[in-house]
Amino acid sequence: MERLPEIPRYLLGDGPPVKLVDMDRARFEAIMGSGLNHYGGTVLRLGDRFSCHWLKRNGNPHLADVTAIAAKTEIPGAYLLNLSYEWTCTSSTSPDPAGNGNRLLRTLDWPMDGLGRNVVVASCDGPAGPYENITWPGFAGVVTAMAPGRFAAAINQPPMRRWSFSCWLDWGVNRVRLWRRRALPPVHLLRQAFETCETYAAAKQILMQTPLAMPAFFTLSGIEPAEGCVIERTEEGCQVREAPASVANHWIATGQSGRDRGIDSGGRYTQMEALRDQPVNDFTWVVPPILNETTRLAVMANAQQGTLAVQGWERAQGFVGPATQVFKM
């Protein structure tokens, strides 16, 4: 049997995200090629034009990072993919049943192929301290990360707001609403939390209070057993569910409705609620419906212990399975 590839860990330090592109050019080109195959050149070129304009108009603090990444390839899509928010996820935070601290469990689903086999761990240094970013070369935000001795966190996507009988019309209305916003995208806010927040309490405060360009669910896991929460955010509003708590891609605290995201959000949430307190130390918990045809990433993190486990997943011949070895730190 062919040996699965390892997930590399790159010491990015305080360097910009474009440095990661230079460190792993092959994975960067593979991700850009997957985006081209998935979305098509016309969509990526148009998306780049609007995304770049939106970032410039808003004075986005990470525009220079995305521009530097776009300059590294002739393939369109760097701006659009950095603002993509089409993935779905299942996450939980609870006291770690196998030891001290609080544990974050997390899977990420996205129909775009290649995200599992091309995932990397970037060891970054920010003003508040180091953190491990589970990411991809060419991505300037943070989706999932762990800062030893501080906190771990992940983003989930809420349902699409429903305005009409048509999914496509609702998508258009939501994009117009986003176009009018000048606040940070959730992936940029989470990056700022890891770079600037020295404690779980500080991270919780900015994730609760900072205006957002679009709704988001943040799962935050601290260093004490009770330090954990799911933050359900609208652009300006906030509802918090304290640990132990799980989240998929539907509202729990507010009861809002919307168009479903991903595969069986209710089933994924129910299963994560049932397993979040189990003392697992591997990825045997990644089973249907949490595991589905779009699953690309699974993560376990404990910030107090400084432990992190990551595995990439991909679809092949109608079956989704591990695409990498398990990275452990």
DSSP 134-150: EE-TT--S-SEEEETTT
Q: Are the beta carbons of 129 and 178 closer than 8 angstroms? A: no
| Rounded Cα–Cα distance for residues 102 and 302 (Å) | 6
Write out pLDDT tens, residues 42-61. 989 998 999 999 999 999 99
- pLDDT tens, residue order, the chain (329 aa): 578 999 999 999 999 999 999 999 999 999 999 999 988 999 899 989 999 999 999 999 999 999 999 999 999 999 999 988 767 899 999 999 988 999 999 999 998 999 999 999 999 999 999 999 999 999 999 999 999 999 999 999 998 766 666 565 655 555 656 667 788 999 999 999 999 999 999 999 999 999 999 899 999 999 999 999 999 999 999 999 999 999 999 999 987 777 777 899 999 999 999 999 999 889 999 999 999 999 999 999 999 999 999 999 999 877 899 999 999 99
Give me the pLDDT at residue 61, please.
96
In a domain, 77, yes or no: no
Give me the pLDDT at residue 163, please.
64
Quick one: angle between helices 41-57 and 25-39, nearest 10? 110
Q: pTM to 2 decimals?
A: 0.94
What does the angle CA 145 – CA 148 – CA 152 come to, to the nearest 5 degrees?
35
In a domain, 284, yes or no: yes
> Quick one: tokens of 309?
């486990």
In a domain, 212, yes or no: yes
Give me the pLDDT at residue 88, please.
82
In a domain, 156, yes or no: yes
| Rounded Cα–Cα distance for residues 250 and 169 (Å) | 20
* First and final C-alpha spacing in the chain: 26
Beta bridge partners of 298: 107, 311
Give me the pLDDT at residue 98, please.
83
Per DSSP, 84 falls in state -
In a domain, 66, yes or no: no
Alpha-carbon dihedral sign for residues 218, 219, 223, 224: positive
Write out pLDDT tens, residues 18-43. 999 999 999 999 999 999 998 899 98
Give me the pLDDT at residue 182, please.
80
What is the span of the domain harbouring residue 316? 9-17+86-328
- Per DSSP, the residues of 199-235 read SHHHHHHHHHHS-BSS-EEEEEE-SSTT-EEEEEE-S
Assign 100 to helix, strand or coil: coil
Give me the pLDDT at residue 319, please.
87
| Rounded Cα–Cα distance for residues 12 and 59 (Å) | 25
In a domain, 39, yes or no: no
Q: Are the beta carbons of 153 and 203 closer than 8 angstroms? A: yes
Question: Radius of gyration of the chain from Cα atoms?
Answer: 18
Nearest C-alpha neighbor of 241 from the set 266, 272, 220: 220
In a domain, 296, yes or no: yes
* Number of domains into which the chain is organized: 1
Any alpha helices (H) in 197-324, and if so which ranges? Answer: 200-209, 265-275
If one counts every other C-beta atom within 10 angstroms of the C-beta of residue 49, the result is 13
Report the CATH number that the domain containing residue 307 is assigned in CATH.
Answer: 3.60.60.10
In a domain, 3, yes or no: no
Give me the pLDDT at residue 171, please.
54
Give me the pLDDT at residue 272, please.
97
Query: For all residues of the chain together, what is the average pLDDT?
Result: 92
Nearest C-alpha neighbor of 122 from the set 149, 103, 154, 145: 145
